[in-house]
A and B are shown apart, each in its own frame.
Chain A
Amino acid sequence: MNEYKHIDINKFEFVQMDTKIFDKKFETKAIGYFGDAARRFARNKSSVLGFVILIIIIIMSIIGPHIGGRGVYAQEKRFSQLPAKIPLLSKIGIAAGTRKYNKQSTQYIKSISEVQPDDPDYKNYFFEECIVWRSKPYIDIQDNKEVEVIDFKYDEYKSRTLPYISGWLSRKEYEDLLAKGAVIGDPIDINDETPGFEQYKVQVNPLKEFGFKSDKSFYFLFGTDQLGRDMWSRVWKGTRVSLLIGLFVAIVTVTVGVIYGAVSGYYGGAIDMALQRFSEILSGIPWIAIMTLVVLYLGSTLFTIALALVLTSWIGTSNMVRSQFYRYKGREYVLAARTLGAKDSRLIFKHILPNALGPIVTSSVLIIPSAIFSEAMISYLGLGISGGVSIGKLLSDGQAIGITTYPYLTIFPALIISLLMISFNLFGNGLRDALNPSLRGVE
C-alpha cells in the first residue's frame, strides 16, 4: 500500500465519468420490509377484520366513558341494579331493560304513568322503597313475568319542625330540593322522644334531579351495578385499564426478553446454562405462586399486577429469541461477518436479531391479550386490583353477585374480553404471516 503513496493524485482519472449510462432508472418505488408486510396484511381479510374490531374497541375504551355513559365512579344508590337497555336491540327482546318478577316479590311495583304528584296514592309508595315499571298501566303481575323496570328509589330527607331548620337540611339545600321538584310530606308527630316536634319527609324524584327529560330517556345501556354505577362507563373504563396493563406488560416483556434471550442464545455454553437455569427456576414457580407473593408483599395495585405478569411472561419471549439465535448464529453469513471482524454487539443486533423481528413483533402483540387474560384470571381468584376497575374485576364482581340474578353484569364484560381476544388473535395471526420473511413474495 505504502509504495503507491508517492504517485501524484493528478495522474489518476475516472474511467467512466463521461460514458453514457444505458441502465434505465427504476420508475417504481422499492417496497421495504414493512411496506411489503402491510401490503400482504391488507390482503388477509380476517386479520383486517380483527384489526378493525380492535381499533373500535381501543377508541371506545378512550371515549366510551364520556359518551352514552353517566360517570364511572358516580354511585347512585337509587339507580342500583338496573337491567341493561339498548334502544335498538330491545325491540327484538335483547337487553330490553326487563327483569323477572313474581307474585311473591316483596317489592312494591307501580307503573310510571301513575307516579304523579296529584296521585292520591302518591305518598303511599313514596314512603317505602318502591320499584317503578314503565309502559302499561297497572297490571296484575303473573308469576315470573318479565317487567320492564326503571327501578329507582326515592330519596327521603327527615327534618324537624320545618323542613329546613334541622340537622339534615340547610335552608339552601331545602330550596334546591324544592327547585328540583321535591315534595314535602305531611308532618309526622314523633311522640316517643321529643313531644311536639314533628318530622317531615321530603322526597325528590331522582329522574328530575338527574336531568332526564322523560322516563323514556331514562335507561342505562349496560345497566347499573349494585351500587348504582353505570356499567357502560365502567366496562369501557375497565377495557382501557386492561389494555394499558397489556401494553405495559408487552413493552417490558419484549425489552427484557430480547436482551436476555439474545445474550443467552448468542454466547451459549456456560452463560447460556446459567441464564437458562435462572429462567427455568423462575418459570418453574407456578404463576399463581408468583402472583400471590407479589400481591401479598406489594399490594394489589395496577403496577404490582403488571409487574407480576412481567415476571412470568418475559421467559417465553427470551426462549423464542434464544432459539432464533441458535438457528442463525451458525449460518455462513454470520461466520463471514465474524471473520471480517464484526464485534459481538454488531453480530447480535445487526446480523442475527433482525431475523427474529417478525416473531418478536408478533409475540409482543400476542402478549397483550394474554396479559389481559391473566389479569382476569387473577381477579377471579380474588387477587385482582383493589379500588379500580378492569375487565377481570368486572367479571369477578358480576360472578360474585350472581350471574343468574344479574346476568348483564357479567355478559357485557365477557363479551368485550372475548371480542378483544378474538380480534387480537386474528390480528396477531395476520401479522405473523405478513412479517414472516420466508413468505415474502410468495403468493
Chain B
Amino acid sequence: MVRYTIKRLFLIFITLFIILSLSFFLIKLLPDNNELQYLMNKVKPEDYALMRKQWGYDKPLFVQYLYWLKNVIFHWDWGVSTHYLLGRDTFEILTQFLPITMRLNLVSLVISIPLGLLFGIVAALRKNKPIDYIISVFVILFISIPSFVVVTMMMLSANDLGLPIQYRPSDMANYKDMIIPVLSLSFGPIAVLTRYTRAELIEVLTSDFILLARTKGLNRFHSTVRHGMRNSMVPLVPIIIGNFIGILFGSLVIERVYGVPGVAGILIESIGIQDYNLTMTALAFYTIISLVATLIVDLTYGIVDPRIRMGSRK
C-alpha cells in the first residue's frame, strides 16, 4: 500500500508536469496570441521594451518555458498578470479569489454530507414505505435537474424569498448572498449521497452480522448505526470525495451565473482578455485539485476492498 501510494504520488507529479507543459505551449502558441497588447497600449514605448525584457517575453518560447518552470519549481512564482491586474503576481491574484470559491464549495459539502446520509438512512430503514418513495422521487429530480437550472429558478424567485438576485459587490455581500449558490450546488450531491447510502445500507442491513446483532439484543437504532453504518460508510468515502470534485466544477457555472467573484470568473475572464499567465495559474489550481482528489479516491478503494489491486497482470 505504501509502495503503491509513493508510486502514485510520483506519477502525479509527472502527470502534472506533462499537463502544465502541454497547456503552456498550447496556450502560448494560440494563433492570435496578443498577450502584451494591453501592456503596449498602457505604457510608454521605452517602458514597454524594458518590461517585455524583464518579463522574458523577448526570448524564444522554449526559453520562456524553461524560465517559467524554474520560477514555479524553485520560487513558487507563477508569473505576472499581463492584463487583469497588470504586473501583479498571478498566484497572489488567485489567492485573492480562492477564499470565496472554497467557502462556497466547503459550505455546500458540509451541508450535503449529513443531509445525504440522513435521507439515505431514513429511506433505507423505511424501504418501500411512502417516505422512501417520496425521497426516491426527490433523488431522481435532483440528480437529473442541472444545477444551473436550479440556480436560475432560485434567482427567479429570489425577490419573493428576500434574497439578493445577484451576488452583490464584495463590500455589500453577506451570508445572504451565499444562500442561493450554496443551495443550488448542494441539491445534486445530497441526492447522489442519498441514493448511494440507501443502496449500501439496504445491502448491509440484510447481512448476517446485522441479524446476529439483533438476535443478541441490540435495538434497531444501535444495530443500524453501530454495525450497519460503519460498514456502509467505507464505500461512501470515495463518493463523498467525488462529490467534492463535482461541486468544484459545478461551481464554475454557478459562480458565473450568479455573478460570484470566484476562481471561475478569473479563469474565463483571463482567457477572454488574453492574460495567459493568469489562465495557466487558474488551470493549475483546478488540475492539482482534481489529480489529488482522484488519488485519494483510488487509495480509499484499495483500503475498502483489498481484493482490488490496480495495475495487476493478466
A-B contacts, 17 of them at CB < 8 A, read A283-B294, A284-B290, A285-B19, A286-B249, A329-B314, A377-B253, A380-B148, A381-B253, A395-B149, A399-B152, A403-B155, A404-B159, A404-B165, A414-B152, A422-B145, A424-B144, A425-B140
> Does residue A293 face the partner (Cβ distance < 8 Å to B)?
yes
| Contact status A284-B15, CB under 8 Å | yes
At the interface with chain B, which of A33-41, A264-272, A357-365? A264-272
Known interface pairs A281-B19, A382-B268. Does A418 touch B149 (Cβ–Cβ under 8 Å)? yes
Name the B residues within 8 Å of A287 (CB-CB).
249
Option from A289, A373, A414 in Cβ contact (under 8 Å) with B23 = A289
Distance to closest chain A CB from B289 (angstroms)? 9
Name the A residues within 8 Å of B26 (CB-CB).
293, 297
**Chain A interfacial residues counted at CB < 8 A:** 47
**Chain B interfacial residues counted at CB < 8 A:** 45
Q: How many Å lie between the Cα of A410 and that of B249 in the bound state?
A: 22
> Does residue B283 face the partner (Cβ distance < 8 Å to A)?
yes
| Contact status B291-A284, CB under 8 Å | yes
> Does residue A277 face the partner (Cβ distance < 8 Å to B)?
yes
Report which B residues bind A (CB closer than 8 A).
11, 14-16, 18-19, 22-23, 26-27, 30-31, 140-141, 143-146, 148-149, 152-153, 155-156, 159, 165, 249, 252-253, 256-257, 267-268, 271-272, 283, 286-287, 290-291, 294, 311-314
Option from A269, A380, A404 in Cβ contact (under 8 Å) with B253 = A380
Name the A residues within 8 Å of B287 (CB-CB).
284-286, 289
> Does residue A157 face the partner (Cβ distance < 8 Å to B)?
no
| Contact status B148-A377, CB under 8 Å | yes
Q: How many Å lie between the Cα of A257 and that of B117 in the bound state?
A: 33
Option from B16, B145, B283 in Cβ contact (under 8 Å) with A418 = B145
Which 10 A-B residue pairings sit nearest by Cβ, starting from the closest?
Answer: A421-B144, A286-B286, A268-B314, A422-B144, A269-B313, A414-B149, A418-B145, A268-B313, A425-B144, A380-B253
| Contact status B148-A395, CB under 8 Å | yes
Name the B residues within 8 Å of A426 (CB-CB).
140
Report which A residues bind B (CB closer than 8 A).
46, 266-269, 272-273, 276-277, 280-281, 283-289, 292-293, 296-297, 326, 329-330, 369, 373, 376-377, 380-382, 395, 399, 403-404, 407, 410-411, 414, 417-418, 421-422, 424-426
9 additional contacts, CB 8 Å, given A377-B252, A404-B159, A418-B149? Answer: A46-B140, A269-B313, A288-B249, A369-B144, A377-B146, A399-B152, A411-B156, A414-B152, A417-B146
| Contact status B253-A267, CB under 8 Å | no
**Which of B271, B286, B314 has most A Cβ within 10 Å?**
B314
